[in-house]
Amino acid sequence: MKPTNRETKPVSGRQGRYSSEFRSPIQEQNSTFKSGATLNTFRAVDHHDKKTDRQRERDLRSWRRRLGYMLMIVVTISALGLILISQFSGSFTQITSNATSLSTDDASTYKKLVDDYMSKNPFERFSFARRSTNLNSYLADKAPEIESVEIVQSNLLLGKLKFTFRQPVAKWVTGGTTSYVDGNGVVFQKNFFEQPSVAISDKSGASVEGDAITSSRFLSFIGQTTAEIAKQGGGIVKRVVIPSGAIRYVEFYLESRGYPFKAQIDRDPTSQGADIVAMANYISANHINPSYVDVRIASKGYWK
């Protein structure tokens, strides 16, 4: 048997086309080597990460928008923080008042009262949360001579106190103690102003000085009535007398008039003052010279 020479012929034509069609996707991907590329320098091309210029511009605008929102939030929080700090009074460094003289010891005492109130109500160190009415009521209870206090922001975390003290319209000396009353009828013992011209003379013989409630009632009525007479143009009260045996009425002596006006302390001071002014004007208009005028009954007046 003769040996048969078999030659390997290249696959061509239809068979070659079949062999290329049946290549796997992995083979196709691995065939993307470039000329001169090595395993160390070759990088596969990721077609999914490619972005167009329009996409990049849209992403940039979105990033800028987020950054703008963040900056706006930071600025808003910072502004709110500055506002809160500007409204906060951590301590008080300056004290002023309407008093003609206020000693350092008195100023320290009143400052301590405010600090005590703030210790009990710490949130009221912020001006927007401060209850001024409660603060003034607290101070009036501890020191009646204080009419009001105003807290003004002077610097960051610092405030200053401005006290308004009561100005007396009358005084009453009993048992070695001097009591004052202002136009609102508030009785107090410490006066920072000149002595009032209206002095109360007690000729009743009753022991009113031992009764604090009775004394305060008299003083409150006298102070409010005196202020009302001046307010309605009735003149200036020069003297107030509690007559002998009287415990419910007093006598008002007006300037340039030598006779008294008898007033009932159980009446409303406003209407009582109005009646005194009305009778004073009537007597002056009719040139009457009485020994006294009685206005203890509302809307009625008598003279003798």
DSSP output for 199-233: EEEE-S-S-GGG-HHHHHHHHHHHHHHHHHHHHTT
Q: Do the beta carbons of residue 121 and residue 188 sit within 8 Å? A: no
- Does the domain at 89-165 match CATH 3.10.20? Answer given as yes
The Cα–Cα gap between 168 and 171 comes to 7
The Cα–Cα gap between 2 and 298 comes to 161
Structure-token pair, residue 81? 């923080």
Prediction pTM value:
0.68
Domain 89-165 and domain 170-303, same fold? Reply is: no
Task: Name the nearest CA neighbour of 251 among 236, 235, 240.
Answer: 240
pLDDT tens-place values along the chain, 304 residues long = 445 555 445 544 444 444 444 455 544 445 544 555 555 555 555 555 567 878 888 888 888 888 888 888 888 887 776 776 766 777 888 889 998 888 999 999 999 999 999 999 988 888 788 888 999 999 999 999 999 999 888 777 788 899 999 999 998 887 778 889 999 999 999 999 998 888 888 776 654 444 554 578 888 999 999 999 999 988 889 989 888 776 788 999 998 899 999 999 889 999 999 999 999 999 999 999 999 999 998 888 889 8
Annotated domain spans of the chain: 55-81, 89-165, 170-303
| Of the options 3.90.350, 1.10.10, 3.40.50, 2.40.30, the CATH number for the domain spanning 170-303 | 3.40.50
